[in-house]
Chain A
Amino acid sequence: MQNRKSLAKGCGRRRAPIRLAVLTVAMLLLLSARADVMGSDVNEPPVRIPSNVAWTARTIALASSGNALRGLLIARRCDRCHGREGFSSSPSVPNLAAMDRLVVWKQLDDFRSGKRSSPVMQPIANSLSLEDSADVAAYYWMMPIAPDPQDDRAFPQPLSDPKHEAVAGRLINAGDGNRGLPPCQACHGPIGFVTGAPSLATQNATYLLEQIEAFASGRRANDINMRMRSIAAQLTEEEKHALAESYGAGLGESSAGPAGR
């Protein structure tokens, strides 16, 4: 027993520093190593980040936590361009009525960070904090999209070419498998919704056309993982016009977002 005990004591005393060292090294690895740094091999071209917004649970909670009443007060400054009821009188300014909260919040954040460039919207977004953006988003999300004859809203706009309806209808409902274009309604509604994809059913034609062309040329590049840029780059000119006009004429859809209002 003496031998066993002295053996144990001796081994414990000798091995304790080694065990301690192993534990310390393991601890440092656990606490300091980061999978993204160690697992990436980034090449020479500079890292290009389309948007600082990532749809984590935390971000979605923050963007969804707005107070619409407070947003009502903040959004009074938005009336001049975006309209008193979220329907703008100018076709090149987007309608925001019933727009999904996450969409509005993300675009405001992209304006603020410069990932989406607009000389008009950047100072406005800079003046709004994250919580203010959430409030404004919650306010616009609650705006109804029923037609109101008292407003001088620019929406809906007439189709310039009746053929456009067929062309756009095909792309919106079925997409184009040859080019790998998904149907617009799979992401923009009403059949499916992708977080961050705005509802297009009540949008102005001129604004839509500008944005499609901006995506196609790469001038607008705040879409996460190059989704819209890849799609818009493959549309023909006729299809771009047809889509913009078809949405601008109103598709007859009343649902405006994942909440299905």
Chain B
Amino acid sequence: MPNSNSKISLATRPADEASAVKEGSGVRKLIRVVLVSTTLICVWLTVRFPYEVESGIEYLLDGPNRVNPQTLHLRGEFVESNLGPVEEQGGTVTVRMIAEQYLFVPQCVVVPTGVPIRVRMTSADVVHQLTISGTTDEVKVVPGYIVETHLQLERAGEYQMPCHEFCGPGHYTMRSRLTAVPPEEFRKLSREARMNCAKP
């Protein structure tokens, strides 16, 4: 009868299984414990030291948009040789800038008209707000995060980019310039020329 059979087998099975369980999955259990505890330690480290720990868990959580504002100039996307306008495949332009007290760096940027422009920016110290006069673009730049804004300028000329978030005693003069030129002219300019400030 199934019930009695099952009872007997239940009685005997644990004894058979006990040794099997101990042999086979003991190592596996240990590995699992180690992995889980390491995971928990990594999580705790990242939460406790959000800027110092540049580990993979940061990347998993919000990686592409997180940076360490203190080490922007040492490595990563916002090293100073990587700032400024760059033409991507497909004709769009990506402009990388850093907002700091009290400049948007690079301070003078040349971009082409009529082309989608993607501005990627982060802050090196406090919260700033990039505003492009003549457009409705306003984006808060927060230290530790990369913000991205898309714009397209149809009119050639000079656009002022003042800071619209109080950032310290130098906030009121914090301004950079965006110069829009026809795309052919933009392509002729060298990398340095695209970030050159014309003398007053």
Contact assessment for B124 and A225 in the assembled complex, using a CB-CB cutoff below 8 Å = yes
Q: Are the C-beta atoms of B106 and A177 separated by less than 8 Å?
A: no
Indicate if B153 sits at the interface (CB-CB under 8 A).
no
Contacting residue for B169 out of A48, A178, A179, A192, CB 8 A? A192
Contact: B199 with A35, CB < 8 Å? no
Instruction: Report A64 CB to chain B, min CB distance, Å.
Output: 16
Contact A49 B59 (CB under 8 A): no
Give the number of residues in B that approach A within 8 Å (Cβ atoms).
67
The answer to whether A2 and B80 have CB atoms under 8 Å apart is no
Residues of A within 8 A of B169 (CB): 182-183, 185-186, 191-192
Q: Tell me if A32 is interfacial: C-beta within 8 Å of chain B.
A: yes
Stretch at the interface among A38-46, A153-161, A201-209: A38-46
Chain A hits for B115, CB < 8 A: none
Most buried by A among B51, B81, B146, B172: B81
Pick from A19, A29, A55, A174: contact of B173, CB under 8 Å: A174
Contact A49-B168, Cβ < 8 Å, known A31-B56, A39-B64, A180-B175: no
Q: A residues within 8 A CB of B38?
A: 27, 30-31
Kindly provide the distance from the CB of B85 to the nearest chain A CB, expressed in whole angstroms.
11
Q: Check: A52 CB closer than 8 A to any chain B CB.
A: yes
State which of B36, B51, B82, B124 has its C-beta within 8 Å of the C-beta of A42: B82
- Interface positions, chain B 59-116, Cβ under 8 Å from A, are 59-60, 63-68, 70-77, 79-83, 86, 98, 100-107
Closest residue to B120 on the A side, CB-wise? Answer: A41
Residue from B73, B77, B102, B168 within 8 A of A50 (CB atoms): B73
Question: Does A217 have its Cβ within 8 Å of any Cβ on chain B?
Answer: no
CB distance from A101 to the nearest CB of B (A): 18
- Is there a chain A Cβ closer than 8 Å to B25's Cβ? yes
Q: Could you say which residues of chain A place their CB within 8 Å of the CB of B32? A: 19-20, 23
Check if B76 sits within 8 Å of A40, measured CB to CB.
yes
Question: Which applies to chain B's interface (DSSP): helix, strand, loop or mixed?
Answer: mixed
For B81, give its contact among A20, A46, A186, A231 (CB under 8 Å): A46
Nearest B residue to A59 via CB reads B70
A9 within 8 A of B: yes
B170 cross-chain contacts in A, Cβ below 8 A = 175, 182-183, 186-187, 192
- In the bound complex, residues from chain B placing their C-beta under 8 Å from that of A43 are 82, 86
Q: Bound complex: CA of A57 vs CA of B124, how far in Å?
A: 15
| Interfacial residues, chain A to chain B (CB-CB below 8 A) | 1-2, 5, 9, 16, 19-20, 23-24, 26-27, 29-36, 38-43, 45-52, 54-58, 174-183, 185-187, 191-192, 194, 224-227, 230-231, 233-234, 236
Interface CB pairs A-B, < 8 A, 26 = A1-B10, A2-B6, A29-B56, A31-B42, A31-B56, A33-B59, A33-B60, A34-B54, A40-B77, A42-B77, A42-B82, A48-B81, A50-B80, A51-B73, A56-B51, A57-B52, A178-B200, A179-B175, A179-B200, A180-B104, A186-B102, A191-B169, A194-B101, A224-B124, A230-B106, A231-B103
